[in-house]
């Protein structure tokens, strides 16, 4: 039906001319005024009916075009909103890092993650900073929230970072406020365990976990996570602490590499 309306629309001028000529002959042949008035009224109704489909088509075409414009504007607004959200997230990340840097005496250099899982037998990432930038093996690597790993290999322009989530990763940590020490290892997701904690220690839920001065690679007092569980070891001679890392390892796109101690 829509095709028929389009066909009539394309030839409506010719049809209108033919109808007007026909009406002219009829009017010339009629001298009755009443007949003329009635015919004029009927003609108005007829032309109104004749043009209504074309008006409907025009309205539908306008609505379709308007919908396309609105869809494009909506897409543009969504893109701008996502950009603002990303910028807000980036600003928050940088603010967190500035506050962190004020608390520790170490220089940092920012790096972007190029790829994940660079080595098949390691949980690692490849970053775009290397020896040219002053990066060396065993340098600590952090997010804006806390430690996420250490550098294990370096080329001129890139470095491989072993993440805390690697099963072979170990780090000496301490738990505030009593500075009880232990060894951290990964369990799953963003959760770790701290073992070899003294059984007599008074560790509590929500205590903060930091790097300790016993670590050969990590400067002291870098944030790691928070205690969420406390258990006795199998032999009952020590405690095992369940730790939630401050950093979400699955959502990190940028890192900070510690270059040297001041």
What's the CATH code of the domain at 116? 2.40.10.340
Q: Are both 79 and 23 inside the same structural domain? A: yes
Prior bond of 177 cis (ω within 30°): yes
Mean pLDDT of the chain: 76
Select from 78, 102, 126 the last residue of a domain: 102
Q: Are both 132 and 209 inside the same structural domain? A: no
Q: Are both 183 and 218 inside the same structural domain? A: yes
Q: Are both 125 and 141 inside the same structural domain? A: yes
Q: HSE (CB half, 13 Å, CA atoms) of 220?
A: 9
Structure tokens at 57: 């088509």
Q: Are both 116 and 160 inside the same structural domain? A: yes
**Residue 183 in contact with residue 172, Cβ under 8 Å?**
yes
| 155 vs 216, residue with greater confidence | 155
Q: Are both 49 and 11 inside the same structural domain? A: yes
Task: Provide the CATH number for the domain around residue 204.
Answer: 2.40.10.350
Residue 244 — very low, low, confident or very high, per pLDDT cuts 50/70/90?
very high
Q: Phi, psi (5° rounding) for residue 61?
A: -65, -40
pLDDT for residue 103: 53
Mean pLDDT along residues 60-89: 63
Where does residue 196 fall: left (phi above 0), alpha (psi -120 to 50 degrees), or beta otherwise? left
Parent domain of 143:
106-165+253-260
Q: Are both 24 and 82 inside the same structural domain? A: yes
Select from 61, 76, 102 the last residue of a domain: 102
Separation CA 173–CA 245 (nearest Å): 12
What's the domain count of the chain? 3
pTM score above 0.75: no
Q: Are both 81 and 142 inside the same structural domain? A: no
pLDDT for residue 262: 43
Q: Which residues are CB-contacts of 156 (< 8 A; sequence separation ≥ 6)?
A: 130, 131, 132
Separation CA 81–CA 35 (nearest Å): 67
| 1 vs 227, residue with greater confidence | 227
Q: How many residues does this entry show for the chain? A: 262
Q: Are both 91 and 114 inside the same structural domain? A: no
Q: Are both 21 and 43 inside the same structural domain? A: yes
Q: Which residues are CB-contacts of 236 (< 8 A; sequence separation ≥ 6)?
A: 199
Q: Are both 150 and 58 inside the same structural domain? A: no
Tens of pLDDT, residues 48-58: 555 555 556 55
Select from 102, 134, 156 the last residue of a domain: 102
Q: Are both 151 and 227 inside the same structural domain? A: no
């Amino acid at each position: 039906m829509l095709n028929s309306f389009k066909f009539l629309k394309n030839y409506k001028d010719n049809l209108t001319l033919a109808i007007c000529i026909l009406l002219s002959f009829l009017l010339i042949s009629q001298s009755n005024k009443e007949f003329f008035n009635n015919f004029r009224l009927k003609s108005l109704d007829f032309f109104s009916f004749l043009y209504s489909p074309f008006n409907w088509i025009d309205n539908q075409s306008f609505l379709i075009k308007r919908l396309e414009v609105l869809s494009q504007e909506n897409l543009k607004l969504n893109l701008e909103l996502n950009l603002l959200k990303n910028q807000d997230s980036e600003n928050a990340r940088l603010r967190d890092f500035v506050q962190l840097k004020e608390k520790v005496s170490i220089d940092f250099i920012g790096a972007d993650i190029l790829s994940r899982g660079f080595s098949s037998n390691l949980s690692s990432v490849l970053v775009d900073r290397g020896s040219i930038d002053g990066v060396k093996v065993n340098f600590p690597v952090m997010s804006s929230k806390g430690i996420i790993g250490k550098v294990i290999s370096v080329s001129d322009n890139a470095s491989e970072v072993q993440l805390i989530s690697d099963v072979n990763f170990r780090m000496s940590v301490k738990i505030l406020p009593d500075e009880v020490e232990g060894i951290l290892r990964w369990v799953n997701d963003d959760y770790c365990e701290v073992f070899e904690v003294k059984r007599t220690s008074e560790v509590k839920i929500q205590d903060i976990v930091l790097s300790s001065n016993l670590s050969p690679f990590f400067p002291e007092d870098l944030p790691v996570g928070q205690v969420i569980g406390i258990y006795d070891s199998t032999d009952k001679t020590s405690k095992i602490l369940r730790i939630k890392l401050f950093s979400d390892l699955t959502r990190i796109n940028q890192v900070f590499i510690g270059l040297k101690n001041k």
